[in-house]
Structure 1
Amino acid sequence: NVLSMTDILSLYDSITLGEMSGIRLMNRTDTKFVTTKQMLRKLLLLAKDDYCTQEIDGERIAPYYTVYFDTPDNAMYCRHETGHANRQKLRIRSYAKSGQSFLEVKTKNNHGRTHKKRVTMPTFNPQEPQHDLMFRPQDDCFKDYEEFLANNLRYDPTILTPKVENHFNRITLVNKQKTERLTIDFDLAFDNIRNGQHMEMGSIVIIELKRDGRQPSPILKHLMLLGIKPMGFSKYVIGYALTDDTLRRNRIKPRLRKIAKLMAQ
Protein backbone atom coordinates (compact mmCIF):
# COMPACT_ATOMS: atom_id res chain seq x y z
CA ASN A 1 0.00 0.00 0.00
CA VAL A 2 1.92 3.03 -1.28
CA LEU A 3 1.47 6.22 0.70
CA SER A 4 0.62 9.20 -1.51
CA MET A 5 2.77 12.33 -1.50
CA THR A 6 -0.06 14.12 0.36
CA ASP A 7 -0.20 11.37 3.03
CA ILE A 8 3.54 11.56 3.62
CA LEU A 9 3.53 15.38 3.80
CA SER A 10 0.76 15.24 6.41
CA LEU A 11 3.38 13.69 8.77
CA TYR A 12 5.40 16.94 8.63
CA ASP A 13 5.09 20.02 10.82
CA SER A 14 4.07 22.97 8.67
CA ILE A 15 5.60 26.41 8.20
CA THR A 16 3.69 29.40 6.84
CA LEU A 17 4.72 31.60 3.95
CA GLY A 18 5.20 34.43 6.48
CA GLU A 19 7.61 32.34 8.56
CA MET A 20 9.38 31.32 5.34
CA SER A 21 10.04 34.92 4.36
CA GLY A 22 12.65 35.12 7.14
CA ILE A 23 14.71 32.56 5.22
CA ARG A 24 15.70 34.59 2.20
CA LEU A 25 18.95 32.87 1.13
CA MET A 26 19.22 35.34 -1.74
CA ASN A 27 22.99 34.83 -1.83
CA ARG A 28 23.21 31.11 -1.70
CA THR A 29 24.79 27.90 -2.92
CA ASP A 30 22.51 25.46 -4.72
CA THR A 31 22.97 21.73 -5.20
CA LYS A 32 20.56 19.78 -7.39
CA PHE A 33 19.71 16.10 -7.29
CA VAL A 34 17.59 14.17 -9.79
CA THR A 35 15.57 11.11 -8.82
CA THR A 36 12.15 9.46 -9.21
CA LYS A 37 8.85 9.80 -7.36
CA GLN A 38 9.33 6.33 -5.88
CA MET A 39 12.65 7.41 -4.29
CA LEU A 40 11.18 10.74 -3.24
CA ARG A 41 8.56 8.98 -1.10
CA LYS A 42 11.37 7.13 0.72
CA LEU A 43 13.35 10.35 1.15
CA LEU A 44 10.38 12.27 2.56
CA LEU A 45 9.73 9.53 5.12
CA LEU A 46 13.40 9.60 6.22
CA ALA A 47 13.49 13.42 6.51
CA LYS A 48 10.20 14.09 8.29
CA ASP A 49 11.70 14.82 11.74
CA ASP A 50 14.35 17.25 10.45
CA TYR A 51 12.14 19.46 8.26
CA CYS A 52 8.92 21.46 8.15
CA THR A 53 6.89 21.76 4.98
CA GLN A 54 5.51 25.02 3.62
CA GLU A 55 1.74 25.21 3.73
CA ILE A 56 -0.37 27.79 1.87
CA ASP A 57 -4.16 27.82 2.35
CA GLY A 58 -4.03 24.29 3.68
CA GLU A 59 -2.08 23.02 0.66
CA ARG A 60 1.40 21.51 0.91
CA ILE A 61 1.94 20.97 -2.83
CA ALA A 62 2.00 24.15 -4.94
CA PRO A 63 1.57 24.39 -8.75
CA TYR A 64 4.04 26.63 -10.63
CA TYR A 65 4.24 28.05 -14.14
CA THR A 66 7.39 29.46 -15.82
CA VAL A 67 8.21 30.94 -19.20
CA TYR A 68 11.83 31.49 -20.31
CA PHE A 69 13.11 34.14 -22.73
CA ASP A 70 16.18 34.05 -24.94
CA THR A 71 17.84 35.86 -27.84
CA PRO A 72 17.18 34.94 -31.52
CA ASP A 73 20.36 32.81 -31.50
CA ASN A 74 19.60 31.28 -28.07
CA ALA A 75 22.62 32.92 -26.41
CA MET A 76 21.49 32.12 -22.84
CA TYR A 77 20.90 28.46 -23.69
CA CYS A 78 24.26 28.22 -25.50
CA ARG A 79 26.24 29.78 -22.63
CA HIS A 80 24.78 27.22 -20.26
CA GLU A 81 25.13 24.28 -22.65
CA THR A 82 28.80 25.09 -23.38
CA GLY A 83 29.53 25.15 -19.65
CA HIS A 84 30.08 28.84 -18.89
CA ALA A 85 29.89 29.29 -15.11
CA ASN A 86 29.06 32.96 -15.54
CA ARG A 87 25.56 33.10 -17.02
CA GLN A 88 22.07 34.57 -16.83
CA LYS A 89 18.44 33.62 -17.40
CA LEU A 90 15.32 35.72 -17.82
CA ARG A 91 11.99 34.18 -16.91
CA ILE A 92 8.49 34.90 -15.67
CA ARG A 93 7.59 32.69 -12.72
CA SER A 94 3.98 32.37 -11.57
CA TYR A 95 2.62 30.88 -8.39
CA ALA A 96 -0.58 29.41 -9.76
CA LYS A 97 -2.38 29.30 -6.38
CA SER A 98 -1.84 32.96 -5.44
CA GLY A 99 -1.86 34.17 -9.05
CA GLN A 100 1.30 36.19 -8.33
CA SER A 101 3.84 36.51 -11.14
CA PHE A 102 7.40 37.85 -11.14
CA LEU A 103 9.85 38.84 -13.85
CA GLU A 104 13.14 37.33 -12.68
CA VAL A 105 16.78 37.61 -13.66
CA LYS A 106 18.92 34.75 -12.37
CA THR A 107 22.68 35.35 -12.44
CA LYS A 108 25.21 32.65 -11.68
CA ASN A 109 28.78 33.77 -11.09
CA ASN A 110 32.15 32.03 -11.48
CA HIS A 111 32.08 31.00 -7.82
CA GLY A 112 28.91 28.97 -8.30
CA ARG A 113 26.75 31.46 -6.42
CA THR A 114 23.29 32.32 -7.67
CA HIS A 115 21.76 35.78 -7.31
CA LYS A 116 18.11 36.27 -8.12
CA LYS A 117 16.51 39.65 -8.74
CA ARG A 118 12.80 39.97 -9.36
CA VAL A 119 9.97 42.42 -9.82
CA THR A 120 6.23 41.73 -9.67
CA MET A 121 4.24 41.45 -12.93
CA PRO A 122 0.67 42.21 -11.87
CA THR A 123 -0.70 42.13 -15.44
CA PHE A 124 0.66 38.67 -16.36
CA ASN A 125 -1.90 35.85 -16.34
CA PRO A 126 -0.42 32.32 -16.12
CA GLN A 127 -3.82 30.83 -17.04
CA GLU A 128 -3.63 32.58 -20.42
CA PRO A 129 0.05 33.44 -20.94
CA GLN A 130 0.95 35.69 -23.88
CA HIS A 131 3.33 33.78 -26.12
CA ASP A 132 4.17 36.89 -28.12
CA LEU A 133 5.28 38.90 -25.09
CA MET A 134 8.22 41.16 -25.90
CA PHE A 135 9.89 44.10 -24.19
CA ARG A 136 9.51 46.51 -27.09
CA PRO A 137 10.43 50.15 -26.40
CA GLN A 138 7.05 51.33 -27.70
CA ASP A 139 5.07 49.10 -25.29
CA ASP A 140 3.91 50.02 -21.79
CA CYS A 141 5.24 46.62 -20.73
CA PHE A 142 8.77 47.75 -21.56
CA LYS A 143 8.41 51.07 -19.72
CA ASP A 144 7.30 49.23 -16.58
CA TYR A 145 10.35 46.97 -16.57
CA GLU A 146 12.96 49.02 -18.43
CA GLU A 147 14.82 50.11 -15.30
CA PHE A 148 14.75 46.64 -13.74
CA LEU A 149 16.11 45.05 -16.94
CA ALA A 150 18.72 47.77 -17.49
CA ASN A 151 20.04 47.29 -13.94
CA ASN A 152 20.09 43.49 -13.90
CA LEU A 153 20.21 41.98 -17.38
CA ARG A 154 23.33 41.82 -19.58
CA TYR A 155 21.30 41.20 -22.74
CA ASP A 156 19.32 43.63 -24.88
CA PRO A 157 15.77 42.96 -23.65
CA THR A 158 14.17 44.28 -26.85
CA ILE A 159 15.35 41.24 -28.87
CA LEU A 160 14.25 38.58 -26.37
CA THR A 161 11.25 36.33 -27.03
CA PRO A 162 9.58 33.52 -25.03
CA LYS A 163 11.11 30.15 -25.97
CA VAL A 164 9.80 27.45 -23.66
CA GLU A 165 7.31 27.21 -20.79
CA ASN A 166 6.83 24.67 -18.05
CA HIS A 167 4.32 23.56 -15.44
CA PHE A 168 5.27 21.60 -12.32
CA ASN A 169 4.28 20.94 -8.72
CA ARG A 170 6.56 21.94 -5.86
CA ILE A 171 7.04 20.88 -2.25
CA THR A 172 9.15 23.27 -0.15
CA LEU A 173 10.88 22.03 2.99
CA VAL A 174 12.82 24.03 5.59
CA ASN A 175 15.17 22.45 8.10
CA LYS A 176 14.31 22.99 11.78
CA GLN A 177 17.38 25.25 12.22
CA LYS A 178 16.09 27.44 9.34
CA THR A 179 19.50 27.49 7.62
CA GLU A 180 18.35 25.85 4.39
CA ARG A 181 15.48 25.38 2.02
CA LEU A 182 14.76 22.34 -0.06
CA THR A 183 12.56 22.60 -3.14
CA ILE A 184 11.22 19.41 -4.68
CA ASP A 185 9.73 19.67 -8.17
CA PHE A 186 7.77 16.94 -9.96
CA ASP A 187 5.04 16.43 -12.60
CA LEU A 188 7.17 18.50 -14.97
CA ALA A 189 5.73 19.31 -18.39
CA PHE A 190 7.37 21.50 -21.06
CA ASP A 191 5.93 23.28 -24.07
CA ASN A 192 8.16 24.70 -26.76
CA ILE A 193 6.62 28.01 -27.81
CA ARG A 194 8.35 28.10 -31.19
CA ASN A 195 7.53 24.63 -32.53
CA GLY A 196 4.62 23.48 -30.34
CA GLN A 197 6.47 20.38 -29.04
CA HIS A 198 5.11 19.06 -25.71
CA MET A 199 7.13 16.91 -23.31
CA GLU A 200 6.13 15.38 -19.97
CA MET A 201 8.82 14.09 -17.65
CA GLY A 202 6.78 11.36 -15.94
CA SER A 203 8.29 10.21 -12.66
CA ILE A 204 11.29 12.60 -12.71
CA VAL A 205 11.88 14.62 -9.52
CA ILE A 206 14.31 17.53 -9.14
CA ILE A 207 15.48 18.30 -5.62
CA GLU A 208 17.35 21.53 -4.98
CA LEU A 209 19.18 22.19 -1.74
CA LYS A 210 19.57 25.93 -1.16
CA ARG A 211 21.68 27.05 1.76
CA ASP A 212 23.81 29.96 2.86
CA GLY A 213 27.47 29.07 2.88
CA ARG A 214 28.38 25.64 4.11
CA GLN A 215 25.88 24.89 6.89
CA PRO A 216 25.58 21.19 7.79
CA SER A 217 22.54 19.69 6.07
CA PRO A 218 20.42 16.86 7.51
CA ILE A 219 19.13 15.80 4.06
CA LEU A 220 22.58 14.90 2.69
CA LYS A 221 22.91 11.69 4.70
CA HIS A 222 19.46 10.52 3.55
CA LEU A 223 20.28 11.30 -0.09
CA MET A 224 23.52 9.34 0.24
CA LEU A 225 21.74 6.41 1.88
CA LEU A 226 19.30 6.22 -1.04
CA GLY A 227 22.08 6.63 -3.63
CA ILE A 228 20.65 9.92 -4.94
CA LYS A 229 23.61 11.81 -6.40
CA PRO A 230 24.09 15.49 -7.26
CA MET A 231 23.35 16.31 -10.89
CA GLY A 232 23.01 19.61 -12.68
CA PHE A 233 19.52 20.19 -14.04
CA SER A 234 18.45 23.49 -15.55
CA LYS A 235 14.72 23.34 -16.31
CA TYR A 236 15.27 25.80 -19.12
CA VAL A 237 18.19 23.99 -20.77
CA ILE A 238 16.80 20.46 -20.36
CA GLY A 239 13.24 21.46 -21.30
CA TYR A 240 14.41 23.37 -24.36
CA ALA A 241 16.77 20.56 -25.49
CA LEU A 242 14.07 17.90 -25.08
CA THR A 243 11.60 19.86 -27.22
CA ASP A 244 13.93 21.08 -29.98
CA ASP A 245 16.21 18.68 -31.89
CA THR A 246 18.00 21.52 -33.67
CA LEU A 247 19.77 22.82 -30.53
CA ARG A 248 23.36 21.83 -29.80
CA ARG A 249 23.51 19.43 -26.85
CA ASN A 250 27.03 17.96 -26.85
CA ARG A 251 27.80 18.75 -23.22
CA ILE A 252 24.40 17.76 -21.84
CA LYS A 253 24.07 14.47 -23.79
CA PRO A 254 25.23 12.30 -20.84
CA ARG A 255 22.73 14.10 -18.60
CA LEU A 256 19.91 13.60 -21.10
CA ARG A 257 20.78 9.89 -21.21
CA LYS A 258 20.65 9.63 -17.39
CA ILE A 259 17.29 11.38 -17.35
CA ALA A 260 15.93 9.03 -20.07
CA LYS A 261 17.08 6.07 -17.96
CA LEU A 262 15.32 7.39 -14.85
CA MET A 263 12.16 8.08 -16.86
CA ALA A 264 12.15 4.49 -18.09
CA GLN A 265 12.26 3.03 -14.56
Structure 2
Amino acid sequence: MIPLATPTTVLADLAPIDLAELTGRAALQTRFDRKYLLPAAEVPGLLAGLDPGTQVLEIDGRRSFRYESVYFDTPDLVSYRLTAHRRRRRFKIRTRTYVDSDLCWLEVKTEGTRGGTVKHRLPYHPGDSGTLSPGRTFVDGILATLGTGGGTGLAFASTLTTRYLRSTLFLPTTASRATIDLGLCWEGGHGARLELPGLAIVETKTGSTASHVDRLLWSHGHRPVAVSKYATGLAALRPELPCARWRRTLRRHFTPDAGTEAPPSSSPPSV
Protein backbone atom coordinates (compact mmCIF):
# COMPACT_ATOMS: atom_id res chain seq x y z
CA MET A 1 0.00 0.00 0.00
CA ILE A 2 1.30 3.48 -0.90
CA PRO A 3 1.37 5.64 2.26
CA LEU A 4 -0.84 8.72 2.24
CA ALA A 5 0.94 12.06 1.96
CA THR A 6 0.94 14.21 5.08
CA PRO A 7 2.02 17.84 5.56
CA THR A 8 5.20 16.56 7.22
CA THR A 9 6.19 14.31 4.32
CA VAL A 10 5.49 16.99 1.70
CA LEU A 11 7.34 19.69 3.68
CA ALA A 12 10.33 17.36 3.87
CA ASP A 13 10.75 17.67 0.09
CA LEU A 14 11.11 21.48 0.16
CA ALA A 15 14.43 23.31 0.41
CA PRO A 16 15.05 24.83 3.85
CA ILE A 17 15.51 28.48 4.77
CA ASP A 18 16.83 29.61 8.15
CA LEU A 19 15.23 32.27 10.33
CA ALA A 20 17.86 34.95 9.69
CA GLU A 21 17.49 34.68 5.92
CA LEU A 22 13.69 34.55 6.11
CA THR A 23 13.61 37.65 8.29
CA GLY A 24 15.98 39.49 5.98
CA ARG A 25 14.14 38.63 2.78
CA ALA A 26 10.49 38.66 3.90
CA ALA A 27 10.17 40.52 7.20
CA LEU A 28 6.95 42.28 6.07
CA GLN A 29 6.11 43.98 9.35
CA THR A 30 3.75 46.09 7.19
CA ARG A 31 1.79 43.76 4.98
CA PHE A 32 -1.50 42.58 3.52
CA ASP A 33 -2.83 39.36 5.04
CA ARG A 34 -5.24 36.97 3.35
CA LYS A 35 -6.61 34.09 5.41
CA TYR A 36 -8.16 30.88 4.17
CA LEU A 37 -9.93 28.07 6.04
CA LEU A 38 -9.78 24.59 4.56
CA PRO A 39 -9.93 20.96 5.66
CA ALA A 40 -6.63 19.84 7.15
CA ALA A 41 -6.80 16.79 4.86
CA GLU A 42 -6.40 19.08 1.83
CA VAL A 43 -3.08 20.57 3.00
CA PRO A 44 -0.82 17.86 1.48
CA GLY A 45 -2.43 18.36 -1.94
CA LEU A 46 -1.98 22.12 -1.65
CA LEU A 47 1.69 21.74 -0.72
CA ALA A 48 2.28 19.40 -3.64
CA GLY A 49 1.28 22.22 -6.03
CA LEU A 50 3.81 24.76 -4.75
CA ASP A 51 6.42 26.32 -7.02
CA PRO A 52 9.64 24.24 -7.00
CA GLY A 53 11.56 27.21 -5.59
CA THR A 54 9.39 27.45 -2.45
CA GLN A 55 11.35 27.09 0.78
CA VAL A 56 10.27 26.12 4.28
CA LEU A 57 11.53 27.58 7.54
CA GLU A 58 13.77 25.09 9.33
CA ILE A 59 15.24 25.52 12.83
CA ASP A 60 17.28 22.77 14.51
CA GLY A 61 15.89 20.22 12.07
CA ARG A 62 12.24 21.19 12.74
CA ARG A 63 9.86 22.40 10.04
CA SER A 64 6.71 22.70 12.16
CA PHE A 65 6.65 24.67 15.39
CA ARG A 66 4.36 25.00 18.40
CA TYR A 67 2.93 28.48 18.95
CA GLU A 68 1.07 29.87 21.94
CA SER A 69 -0.53 33.32 21.89
CA VAL A 70 -2.16 35.09 24.84
CA TYR A 71 -4.49 37.95 23.86
CA PHE A 72 -5.25 40.88 26.14
CA ASP A 73 -8.37 43.03 26.24
CA THR A 74 -10.27 45.36 28.54
CA PRO A 75 -13.20 44.17 30.72
CA ASP A 76 -15.62 45.57 28.12
CA LEU A 77 -13.56 44.07 25.25
CA VAL A 78 -12.51 47.27 23.48
CA SER A 79 -10.11 45.44 21.16
CA TYR A 80 -12.71 42.84 20.21
CA ARG A 81 -15.48 45.38 19.61
CA LEU A 82 -13.29 47.66 17.48
CA THR A 83 -12.55 44.67 15.27
CA ALA A 84 -16.14 43.40 15.23
CA HIS A 85 -17.40 46.80 14.07
CA ARG A 86 -14.48 47.39 11.66
CA ARG A 87 -13.32 50.57 13.33
CA ARG A 88 -10.35 52.24 11.63
CA ARG A 89 -8.16 52.47 14.72
CA ARG A 90 -8.54 48.87 15.83
CA PHE A 91 -5.70 47.00 17.48
CA LYS A 92 -4.78 43.65 19.00
CA ILE A 93 -2.39 43.01 21.88
CA ARG A 94 -0.83 39.63 22.48
CA THR A 95 2.22 37.77 23.65
CA ARG A 96 3.45 35.13 21.25
CA THR A 97 5.57 32.28 22.56
CA TYR A 98 7.58 30.07 20.25
CA VAL A 99 7.33 27.02 22.47
CA ASP A 100 10.05 24.89 20.88
CA SER A 101 12.70 27.61 21.17
CA ASP A 102 11.38 29.15 24.43
CA LEU A 103 11.28 32.63 22.89
CA CYS A 104 8.54 35.19 23.43
CA TRP A 105 7.50 38.56 21.98
CA LEU A 106 4.98 41.16 23.07
CA GLU A 107 3.14 42.33 19.95
CA VAL A 108 0.71 45.14 19.16
CA LYS A 109 -0.97 44.84 15.77
CA THR A 110 -2.55 47.93 14.23
CA GLU A 111 -4.05 48.88 10.90
CA GLY A 112 -1.88 50.87 8.51
CA THR A 113 -2.93 53.93 6.54
CA ARG A 114 -3.79 51.86 3.46
CA GLY A 115 -5.48 48.95 5.17
CA GLY A 116 -2.40 46.79 5.71
CA THR A 117 -1.41 45.30 9.04
CA VAL A 118 1.45 46.86 11.02
CA LYS A 119 3.05 44.73 13.74
CA HIS A 120 5.05 46.29 16.58
CA ARG A 121 7.19 43.84 18.59
CA LEU A 122 9.13 43.81 21.84
CA PRO A 123 11.28 40.89 23.11
CA TYR A 124 9.57 39.44 26.18
CA HIS A 125 10.36 36.90 28.88
CA PRO A 126 8.40 33.65 28.33
CA GLY A 127 7.54 33.57 32.02
CA ASP A 128 5.68 36.88 31.59
CA SER A 129 3.54 35.73 28.64
CA GLY A 130 0.34 35.93 30.70
CA THR A 131 0.80 39.53 31.86
CA LEU A 132 1.29 42.95 30.27
CA SER A 133 2.97 44.54 33.27
CA PRO A 134 6.61 44.45 32.04
CA GLY A 135 5.63 45.81 28.62
CA ARG A 136 2.89 48.23 29.56
CA THR A 137 4.89 51.33 28.62
CA PHE A 138 5.54 49.85 25.16
CA VAL A 139 1.83 49.06 24.66
CA ASP A 140 0.65 52.48 25.82
CA GLY A 141 3.11 54.19 23.51
CA ILE A 142 1.76 52.35 20.46
CA LEU A 143 -1.89 52.88 21.39
CA ALA A 144 -1.32 56.58 22.10
CA THR A 145 -0.32 57.10 18.46
CA LEU A 146 -3.74 55.72 17.42
CA GLY A 147 -5.71 58.04 19.66
CA THR A 148 -7.24 55.04 21.44
CA GLY A 149 -6.57 56.24 24.95
CA GLY A 150 -3.54 54.01 25.45
CA GLY A 151 -1.94 56.56 27.75
CA THR A 152 -4.96 56.88 30.02
CA GLY A 153 -4.48 53.57 31.85
CA LEU A 154 -6.88 51.19 30.13
CA ALA A 155 -7.14 48.00 32.19
CA PHE A 156 -6.01 44.99 30.15
CA ALA A 157 -6.17 41.35 31.20
CA SER A 158 -5.57 38.04 29.43
CA THR A 159 -8.77 37.10 27.61
CA LEU A 160 -7.98 34.24 25.24
CA THR A 161 -5.15 31.76 24.60
CA THR A 162 -4.58 30.06 21.25
CA ARG A 163 -2.32 27.10 20.46
CA TYR A 164 -1.42 25.54 17.13
CA LEU A 165 1.33 23.98 15.04
CA ARG A 166 2.74 26.30 12.35
CA SER A 167 4.84 25.79 9.22
CA THR A 168 6.16 28.86 7.37
CA LEU A 169 6.83 28.99 3.63
CA PHE A 170 9.02 31.51 1.79
CA LEU A 171 8.01 32.40 -1.78
CA PRO A 172 11.08 33.81 -3.56
CA THR A 173 9.29 35.21 -6.62
CA THR A 174 7.29 37.68 -4.49
CA ALA A 175 9.62 37.77 -1.44
CA SER A 176 6.57 36.92 0.66
CA ARG A 177 5.50 34.33 3.19
CA ALA A 178 2.67 31.92 3.81
CA THR A 179 1.87 30.08 7.02
CA ILE A 180 -0.07 26.87 7.61
CA ASP A 181 -1.60 26.36 11.05
CA LEU A 182 -2.87 22.96 12.23
CA GLY A 183 -3.98 21.48 15.55
CA LEU A 184 -5.97 24.61 16.36
CA CYS A 185 -7.09 25.16 19.96
CA TRP A 186 -8.68 28.13 21.78
CA GLU A 187 -9.03 28.53 25.55
CA GLY A 188 -11.04 31.26 27.23
CA GLY A 189 -12.05 31.94 30.79
CA HIS A 190 -14.03 29.60 33.06
CA GLY A 191 -12.77 26.47 31.31
CA ALA A 192 -14.17 27.32 27.88
CA ARG A 193 -12.25 25.44 25.18
CA LEU A 194 -12.57 24.79 21.44
CA GLU A 195 -10.46 22.34 19.43
CA LEU A 196 -10.71 22.05 15.63
CA PRO A 197 -8.31 19.26 14.57
CA GLY A 198 -9.93 18.93 11.14
CA LEU A 199 -9.37 22.58 10.18
CA ALA A 200 -6.34 24.38 8.75
CA ILE A 201 -5.75 28.12 8.57
CA VAL A 202 -3.55 29.18 5.67
CA GLU A 203 -2.42 32.80 5.72
CA THR A 204 -0.54 34.64 3.00
CA LYS A 205 1.50 37.69 4.02
CA THR A 206 2.37 39.77 0.99
CA GLY A 207 2.69 43.24 -0.42
CA SER A 208 -0.28 44.40 -2.47
CA THR A 209 0.20 41.64 -5.07
CA ALA A 210 -1.29 38.18 -4.57
CA SER A 211 1.22 35.34 -4.21
CA HIS A 212 1.46 31.95 -5.90
CA VAL A 213 -0.11 30.39 -2.80
CA ASP A 214 -3.13 32.70 -3.13
CA ARG A 215 -3.62 31.68 -6.74
CA LEU A 216 -3.11 28.02 -5.89
CA LEU A 217 -5.80 28.25 -3.22
CA TRP A 218 -8.16 29.99 -5.64
CA SER A 219 -7.62 27.19 -8.16
CA HIS A 220 -8.73 24.72 -5.45
CA GLY A 221 -11.92 26.72 -4.83
CA HIS A 222 -10.84 28.48 -1.64
CA ARG A 223 -11.38 32.21 -1.11
CA PRO A 224 -10.11 34.62 1.55
CA VAL A 225 -12.42 34.73 4.55
CA ALA A 226 -12.99 37.12 7.43
CA VAL A 227 -11.36 35.36 10.36
CA SER A 228 -9.28 36.45 13.33
CA LYS A 229 -7.79 33.90 15.70
CA TYR A 230 -8.60 36.25 18.56
CA ALA A 231 -11.94 37.75 17.62
CA THR A 232 -13.48 34.79 15.81
CA GLY A 233 -12.22 32.39 18.46
CA LEU A 234 -13.64 34.55 21.26
CA ALA A 235 -16.97 34.80 19.43
CA ALA A 236 -17.07 31.00 19.12
CA LEU A 237 -16.55 30.62 22.87
CA ARG A 238 -18.88 33.49 23.80
CA PRO A 239 -21.92 33.43 21.49
CA GLU A 240 -23.50 36.42 23.25
CA LEU A 241 -20.92 38.76 21.68
CA PRO A 242 -21.69 40.74 18.49
CA CYS A 243 -20.34 38.64 15.62
CA ALA A 244 -22.03 39.72 12.38
CA ARG A 245 -18.65 40.07 10.69
CA TRP A 246 -17.81 36.39 11.30
CA ARG A 247 -21.27 34.80 11.46
CA ARG A 248 -20.86 32.90 8.20
CA THR A 249 -17.36 31.76 9.15
CA LEU A 250 -18.51 30.63 12.59
CA ARG A 251 -21.49 28.73 11.20
CA ARG A 252 -19.49 26.95 8.53
CA HIS A 253 -16.07 26.37 10.07
CA PHE A 254 -16.15 26.71 13.87
CA THR A 255 -18.22 23.59 14.54
CA PRO A 256 -17.34 20.00 15.56
CA ASP A 257 -17.58 18.98 11.87
CA ALA A 258 -15.22 21.72 10.64
CA GLY A 259 -12.93 20.57 7.88
CA THR A 260 -15.31 18.02 6.37
CA GLU A 261 -17.17 20.28 3.94
CA ALA A 262 -15.93 20.88 0.39
CA PRO A 263 -15.47 24.53 -0.69
CA PRO A 264 -18.07 26.10 -2.99
CA SER A 265 -17.19 26.48 -6.64
CA SER A 266 -16.74 30.07 -7.82
CA SER A 267 -14.49 32.22 -9.95
CA PRO A 268 -11.14 33.44 -8.57
CA PRO A 269 -11.17 36.94 -7.08
CA SER A 270 -9.51 39.65 -9.10
CA VAL A 271 -6.39 41.19 -7.58
- Preserved CA contact (<8 Å) 1:32 1:209: yes
What SS class does the counterpart of residue 159 from structure 1 fall into? coil
Q: CA deviation at 1:158?
A: 4.8
1:168 aligned residue (161, 164, 168)? 164
Q: CA deviation at 1:182?
A: 0.5
> Aligned residue for 2:244?
250
- Preserved CA contact (<8 Å) 1:29 1:211: yes
Q: CA deviation at 1:83?
A: 2.5
Any unmatched runs of 5+ in structure 1?
136-140
Percent identity reads 28
Distance 1:157 1:90, change over 3 A: farther
- Preserved CA contact (<8 Å) 1:69 1:161: yes
Please state if 1:21 is matched with 2:23. yes
What SS class does the counterpart of residue 164 from structure 1 fall into? strand
Could you state the TM-score of these two structures normalised by the residue count of structure 2? Answer: 0.86
- Over the residues paired in the alignment, what is the CA RMSD in angstroms? 1.9
2:205 aligned residue (188, 210, 213)? 210
In 2, the alpha carbon distance for the partners of 1:39 and 1:159 equals 42
Distance 1:34 1:157, change over 3 A: farther
Please state if 1:147 is matched with 2:137. yes
Q: Which amino acid in 1 is paired with 2:198?
A: S
Please state if 1:86 is matched with 2:82. no
Please state if 1:77 is matched with 2:80. yes
> Aligned residue for 1:8?
10
Q: Which amino acid in 2 is paired with 1:92?
A: T
In 2, the alpha carbon distance for the partners of 1:264 and 1:10 equals 26
Q: What pairs with 1:1-265 in structure 2 (closer than 5 Å)? A: 1-22=3-24, 23-47=26-50, 49-109=52-112, 111-122=114-125, 124-125=126-127, 130=130, 133=131, 135=133, 141=134, 145-153=135-143, 154=148, 155=150, 156=152, 158-177=154-173, 179-192=175-188, 194-214=189-209, 217-259=211-253, 260=255, 262-265=258-261
- Preserved CA contact (<8 Å) 1:164 1:236: yes
What SS class does the counterpart of residue 227 from structure 2 fall into? coil
Task: Report Cα offsets for 1:35-81 as digits up to 9, x if no partner.
Answer: 11122111101115141000011000011000000011011111111
**Number of equivalent positions:** 250
- Preserved CA contact (<8 Å) 2:74 2:154: no
Could you state the TM-score of these two structures normalised by the residue count of structure 1? Answer: 0.88
Q: CA deviation at 1:95?
A: 0.4
In 1, the alpha carbon distance for the partners of 2:82 and 2:123 equals 27
Q: Which amino acid in 2 is paired with 1:209?
A: T
What SS class does the counterpart of residue 231 from structure 1 fall into? coil
Any unmatched runs of 5+ in structure 2?
262-271
The runs of at least 4 consecutive aligned structure 1 residues that moved more than 3 Å come to: 154-158, 260-265
Distance 1:264 1:3, change over 3 A: closer
Task: Report Cα offsets for 1:178-234 as digits up to 9, x if no partner.
Answer: 611001111110110x221011012111111111232x5222331122111111210
